[in-house]
């Protein structure tokens, strides 16, 4: 898939974000290719979420470029583009899956309404079509269609997370940001969610950036891996290569810290 | 009759200028909520302090003033506001829609078509149509600025999903001149079509929320809907029991403890005028003559 003739979907150069004197992330550069899943791992406070926030247009970096290959105008720097354009991207070509589904869902609106919101935000005005698209997506994330009018409050944690994924993918985005998508779920639900995500990513040819501290998640999902520590990328490479033969001392520590059952 | 202790229409001239500036800006940008420095009025919030301030800024001594509350001229709110301006401005008041030059209203648009010589002033409790969907004011302002109105349809979607039809019956959101989504104040959706292309100036004042917005004359006002669930201006399916009108908005009144009820025009002036012309309904008193 890493065909040099292609343009990378996302091109990140020297992104630096500080909070006052403290470093959020520093000099992060990488390319993300269409259809590729990039894992970002590191301990708490290593700058993973800051990096994701900058890439998704939620935080303004101090320095650096985030160049996204837009459908209409080709590569554009999302940091310097106007806010309406960036918000439009966030509604159409991007998706953001939060760790806590409560942050990504409207809890007092039915599952169907949650999935339909992005469709309505881009101009869908036919109730029947919105509803059938919502029903279709609930099916794809393994939620019973009968629950389309239930509110997310009535859903289990795993279902809420799957609903959040449906809500994000309904407009056919090209780039998905995931912040600890399996955090807070028990292992069997995690496994099911990962299975589902892997299927969707492969079927839809999505590119994704997955931030997590869980090495099992990246092992299953990610093609490539970046290891972060204290705001900097300390090691990057193919997932299996990094996990099986870690070079940097911190990565070695990280890999050896995983509990073996 | 004017109480000499007060300035004309109670508010001082600088305050009225400030409100007029907000009104002019509102008219220049139809449907846009203009912030203004709402004053403390001698009545509680919720009694129409926004409408009163807008009326005060618009009134001139030659005006004829009418106030309706849910269509009626004789309810507490209407009577007290009418007396307030009769006393502080000394303007003539009327109960007849056709004679009035400024009409302050709560929750209704008069049945009688308005003219170019009239101003309709609405009392608004919550000016922000997106309030209950997105509580952050910073976010709703951004949504208005960027025309991100998909969320408004989520509300209508929820209505249909839950009730099978758009169940919102009042404060039904509208799009003004193809740009701003606006809350028309809690008028019944039956009145929404009257907002569209009205020859009268329509001003909206929200006192507690400190916002003024406006619809200039002959402005396009469209009620939001879905292609397969179009907007419908609904009313109780009865004629008026006093004047027999088939096409006016009706109040349902319980008249005994056995569940009997009558339907009467909510616009009292409209109903009285029809009765004076000899129209009769099911429960009209027998003619003495």
Q: In this predicted structure, what is the pLDDT of residue A44? A: 86
Q: What are phi and psi of B81, to 5 degrees?
A: -70, -40
**Active site (annotated) includes residue B205:** no
Q: What are phi and psi of A238, to 5 degrees?
A: -60, 145
**Which long-range CB contacts under 8 A does B42-46 form with residues at least 24 apart?**
B42/B10, B42/B84, B43/B80, B43/B81, B43/B84, B45/B207, B45/B208, B46/B125, B46/B208
pLDDT digits (tens, 9 = 90+) for B198-211: 999 999 999 999 99
Among B26, B31, B207, B281, the active-site one is B31
* Tally of residues, chain A: 261
Residue B267: name the closest of B69, B64, B66 by CA: B69
The whole model's pTM is what?
0.88
Q: Look up the ipTM and state it.
A: 0.85
Q: In this predicted structure, what is the pLDDT of residue B95? A: 95
Q: In this predicted structure, what is the pLDDT of residue A261? A: 65
pLDDT value at B4 more than 80:
no
Average model confidence (pLDDT) across chain A? 90
Of B154, B161, B162, the CB nearest to A120: B154
Q: Per the CB < 8 Å rule, is A127 touching B157?
A: yes
Closest Cα in chain B to A121: B150
Q: Per the CB < 8 Å rule, is B148 touching A121?
A: yes
Sorting pLDDT into bands at 50, 70 and 90, what band is B64? Answer: very high
Q: In this predicted structure, what is the pLDDT of residue B3? A: 56
- Contact by Cβ (8 Å): B9, B15: no
Q: In this predicted structure, what is the pLDDT of residue A3? A: 47
Q: In this predicted structure, what is the pLDDT of residue B284? A: 85
Q: Which residues of chain A have pLDDT under 70?
A: 1-5, 261
Handedness of CA B31, B34, B35, B40 (dihedral sign): negative
**What is the C-alpha to C-alpha distance for residues A199 and B21, in angstroms, rounded to an integer?**
59
Cα of A35 to nearest chain B Cα, Å: 29
pLDDT value at B85 more than 60:
yes
């Amino acid at each position: 898939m890493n065909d040099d003739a292609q343009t990378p979907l996302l091109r990140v150069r020297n992104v630096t974000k500080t909070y006052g004197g403290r470093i959020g992330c520093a000099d992060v550069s990488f390319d993300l290719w269409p259809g590729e899943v990039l894992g970002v791992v590191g301990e708490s406070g290593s700058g993973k979420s800051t990096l994701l926030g900058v890439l998704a247009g939620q935080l303004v970096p101090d320095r650096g470029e985030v160049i996204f290959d837009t459908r209409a105008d080709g590569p554009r720097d999302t940091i310097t583009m106007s806010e309406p354009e960036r918000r439009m991207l966030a509604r159409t070509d991007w998706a953001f899956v939060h760790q806590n589904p409560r942050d990504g869902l409207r809890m007092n609106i039915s599952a169907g309404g949650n999935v339909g919101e992005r469709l309505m935000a881009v101009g869908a005005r036919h109730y029947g079509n919105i509803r059938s698209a919502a029903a279709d997506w609930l099916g794809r994330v393994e939620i019973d269609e009968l629950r389309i009018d239930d509110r997310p409050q009535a859903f289990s944690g795993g279902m809420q997370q799957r609903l959040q994924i449906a809500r994000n993918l309904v407009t056919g985005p090209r780039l998905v940001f995931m912040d600890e998508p399996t955090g807070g779920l028990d292992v069997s639900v995690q496994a099911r969610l990962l299975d589902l995500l892997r299927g969707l990513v492969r079927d839809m040819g999505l590119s994704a950036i997955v931030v997590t501290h869980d090495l099992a998640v990246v092992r299953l999902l990610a093609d490539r891996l970046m290891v972060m520590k204290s705001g900097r990328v300390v090691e990057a490479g193919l997932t299996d290569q990094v996990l099986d033969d870690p070079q940097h001392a911190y990565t070695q520590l990280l890999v050896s810290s995983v509990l073996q059952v | 009759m004017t109480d000499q202790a007060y300035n004309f229409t109670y508010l001082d001239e600088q305050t009225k200028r400030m409100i007029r500036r907000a009104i002019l800006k509102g008219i220049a940008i139809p449907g846009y909520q203009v912030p203004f420095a709402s004053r403390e009025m001698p009545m509680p919030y919720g009694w129409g302090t926004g409408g009163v301030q807008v009326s005060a800024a618009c009134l001139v001594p030659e005006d004829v003033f009418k106030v309706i509350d849910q269509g009626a001229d004789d309810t507490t709110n209407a009577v007290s506001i009418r007396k307030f301006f009769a006393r502080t401005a000394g303007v003539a008041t009327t109960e007849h829609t056709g004679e009035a030059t400024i009409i302050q209203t709560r929750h209704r648009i008069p049945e009688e078509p308005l003219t170019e010589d009239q101003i309709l002033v609405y009392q608004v409790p919550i000016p922000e149509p997106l309030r209950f969907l997105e509580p952050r004011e910073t976010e709703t302002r951004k949504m208005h600025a960027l025309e991100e109105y998909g969320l408004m349809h989520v509300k209508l979607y929820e209505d249909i999903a839950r009730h099978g039809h758009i169940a919102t019956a009042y404060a039904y959101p509208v799009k003004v001149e193809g740009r701003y989504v606006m809350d028309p104040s809690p008028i019944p959706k039956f009145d929404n079509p009257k907002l569209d292309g009205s020859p009268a100036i329509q001003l909206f004042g929200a006192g507690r929320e400190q916002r003024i917005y406006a619809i200039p004359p002959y402005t396009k006002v469209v009620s939001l809907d879905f292609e397969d669930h179009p907007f419908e201006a609904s009313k109780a399916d009865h004629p008026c029991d006093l004047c027999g009108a088939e096409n006016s908005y009706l109040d349902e009144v319980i008249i005994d403890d056995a569940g009997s009820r009558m339907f009467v025009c909510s616009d009292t002036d409209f109903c009285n005028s029809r009765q004076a012309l000899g129209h009769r309904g099911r429960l009209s008193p027998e003619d003495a003559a």
